[in-house]
Chain A
Amino acid sequence: MATLNAFFSHISEYLLMAWQALVSHKLRSFLTTLGILIGVTTIITIWTTIEGLNKYVFGQLSNIGASTVYVQKYPWVIKGDFWKYRNRKPVTYKEYQALAQYCNSAEHISPEVFSVKTIRYKNKKFENIFIIGSNQEYAYTANVAPEIGRFITELDVHYNRYVCVLGREVADQLFEKANPLGKKIFIGDRKYLVIGILERKGNFFGQSMDNFIIVPFGTFRRVYGGHREMRIALSTSPGKLEEMKDQIRSILRRVRKVPPTKEDDFAINQQDMLTDLYKSLTTTLFAIVFVIGGISLVVGGIGIMNIMLVSVAERTREIGIRKAIGATRKNILSQFLFEAIVISSIGGFIGIVFGFFAGNVVLSQMSLNGTVSLTSILIGFGFSGFVGVLAGFYPAYKAASLNPIDSLRYE
């Protein structure tokens, strides 16, 4: 207990000494902390941004649904030869029918075709609106629900009715405050009856997720042609995902007449692929953060070492005095080491404060939810302390090794 007390009173002694030394050279001390300050600010800001992005992207990707897969010609993440995929046969309606008939592990199946059209209501006109042709199952595979009105029904699809369900933003733009239900709008040069408005989905990377229109699959094909690229969405309950994928493969290989020796000539895409891609992307980003932050911390460390060497030289006489009245090597070493650690930690602390604010500013600018994580703060603080020790050790060692007589005579 006594030694512990002595230990802490020693530390407080060294901290006080360090503080006094730093305060007596305010500008110099401040400039010395800058490197560390910038390094820690960078790390925390970027770290916070990435974490905010992660939270956001994973939130958005979960909209796709972990147990929904998309059968398409191209995989979402293309590795290797693009031409291998380019020459594949497109996914067809016949394959949708086969899956709808035989793939009993899927709970919902929707064929999906896409186009971009100009839409019109009275004197309002909007170009490049995303049009989706699908069936009543789309509500489940894409996880959307009407906020008002109703979604496309089996009968709409069966009779190829000219009805449409609007994304929230399309509805707001076309009708402003008026009730869109029962109104007729032009999609391309055809008139459609508005039967429902979808719930708001929000933005994804600044891209509105509510800026589209859904029409019955058959209607779409009749109007815009049947040979478009299509995809088939299938969803199931989470535990049955693998079973469903196996079933899809065997059905499609049969329908598309893929010889047993050849690999699949279609892709079964799912959310995992995107999250994996995103993860590998952010892993790289994190590595870059560490390199940038690391470099500025190294530079900051060099700055601290430099100033500490100057400080030791300037205070040679002080060191001599201290040694003459009984300071041991350890005393002197600790004094200067603490000085380096304090200077570095102050930089780290200010860096954390700056990083905290900068991180929050970036998050709010990118309208991301998130907080500055404790991990990043701890890492910022740990790093700055570590750099202080590394940068301070050599100068402190030099100070401790000074000969008392020579240092007392030093002018």
Chain B
Amino acid sequence: MLIHVENLIKIYQLGKVQVKALDNINLTIDRNEYVAVMGPSGSGKSTLMNIIGCLDVPTSGRYILNDQDVHNLTDDELAHIRNKEIGFVFQTFNLLPRATALHNVELPLIYNGTPRSKRREIAMNMLERVGLADRANHRPNELSGGQRQRVAIARALVNNPSLILADEPTGNLDSKTGEEIMQIFNELNEAGNTILLVTHEEDIARQTKRIIRLLDGQIIKDELNQ
């Protein structure tokens, strides 16, 4: 059991109106699962993703990640978890524009104090793994969308996290490139990584092994993908 979520509620205060983004979510994800979270916009999938990614905290309910109760953790402890346990892949890549591909991949290692020489080596290995060793010294604006997303994936993998969280990872890519990126995720899952993928594209979700559908902050369907 990698992720365990119990009675999770998240309420946003928008002016005088309270918006219930997540309404009593219960969810368990085991190691090596490959899960897609689907739902229309406003269904709460991003909120769920943020809470699972320790970027946000729930209004109430319990969230246990890797046997650790995330509730009541300080900002720094959450930062540490994001660094060690979670690898983020975003729709908009979110690379540092002025840093090289290599430096972008190195970044999580900087924040856990890995010595410089070792950092280089690990980051280079990761870039090799996503097939971008020859682009190590290019900046994001010198790379194609698919290449940027691969850099982002390399960055997400570099600390060997328990969980890879991908938020619409193919949303900004053409279908062929998106397919290549999904290929990488599929391979990663086969290699034993746990992947949680937020998407609204049916054929992307079809490639995962389990699909959770959200609507108005509630899980309306949680099924294994045949």
A interface residue numbers (CB < 8 A to B):
6, 9-10, 13, 20, 24, 317-318, 320-331, 404-405, 408
Contacts and interface: CB of A to CB of B under 8 A. Distances in A.
B75 A328 contact: yes
29 contacts: A6-B113, A9-B115, A10-B113, A317-B94, A321-B94, A321-B95, A322-B111, A323-B55, A323-B79, A324-B55, A324-B94, A325-B83, A325-B88, A325-B108, A325-B155, A326-B84, A326-B108, A326-B112, A327-B111, A328-B76, A328-B79, A328-B111, A329-B76, A331-B79, A404-B55, A405-B56, A408-B55, A408-B90, A408-B94
Interface residues of B, number: 28
Contacts of A405: 50, 55-56
Contacts of B20: none
Nearest to A325: B108
Given A330-B76, A404-B55, A325 B98 contact: no
Contacts of A325: 82-83, 88, 107-108, 111, 155
A125 B96 CA distance: 82
A283 B99 CA distance: 51
A78 B175 CA distance: 94
B80 interface: yes
B55 A326 contact: no
A292 B142 CA distance: 48
A322 B75 contact: no
B110 interface: yes
Contact of B80 (A318, A324, A328): A328
Interface in B93-120: 94-96, 98-99, 107-108, 110-113, 115-116
A330 B76 CA distance: 8
B222 to A, nearest CB: 25
Nearest to A24: B98
Given A13-B110, A326-B108, 4 more contacts: A9-B113, A325-B83, A405-B55, A408-B90
Contact of B111 (A24, A320, A331): A331
Contacts of B113: 6, 9-10
Nearest to A5: B115
Given A6-B113, A9-B115, A326 B98 contact: no
Contacts of B50: 405
Nearest to A10: B113
Nearest to B167: A408
A404 B79 CA distance: 10
Q: Which of A20, A325, A329, A331 has the most CB of B within 10 A?
A: A325
A324 B116 CA distance: 21
Given A326-B80, A328-B80, A318 B96 contact: yes
Q: Which 7 A-B residue pairs are closest in the complex by CB-CB distance? A: A326-B83, A326-B111, A328-B79, A325-B108, A328-B76, A321-B94, A404-B55
Given A6-B113, A405-B56, A408-B90, A321 B79 contact: no
A327 B79 contact: yes
Nearest to B95: A321
B116 to A, nearest CB: 7
- Chain A binding surface, main DSSP class: helix
Contacts of A20: 98-99
B107 A322 contact: yes
B84 A9 contact: no
A320 B96 CA distance: 10
A377 B105 CA distance: 41
A24 B96 CA distance: 13
Interface string B63-100: 00000000000011001101110001010001110110
A327 B80 CA distance: 8
A322 B83 CA distance: 10
A321 B93 CA distance: 10
Nearest to A332: B79
Q: Which of B94, B110, B159 has the most CB of A within 10 A?
A: B110
Contacts of B112: 326
Q: Which of B50, B82, B112, B155 has the most CB of A within 10 A?
A: B82
A329 B82 CA distance: 13
Nearest to B110: A13
A327 B95 CA distance: 14
Contacts of A317: 94
B155 to A, nearest CB: 7
A325 B109 CA distance: 9
Contacts of B99: 20
Nearest to B90: A408
A9 B116 contact: yes
B56 A326 contact: no
Contacts of A323: 55, 79, 82
Nearest to A404: B55
Contacts of B155: 325
Interface in B117-160: 155, 159
A330 B80 CA distance: 12
Nearest to B108: A325
B208 to A, nearest CB: 22
Q: Which of B56, B94, B95 has the most CB of A within 10 A?
A: B94
Nearest to B94: A321
Contacts of B96: 318, 321-322
Contacts of A24: 98
A20 B90 CA distance: 25
A380 B108 CA distance: 37
A408 B98 CA distance: 17
A45 to B, nearest CB: 37
A325 B88 CA distance: 7
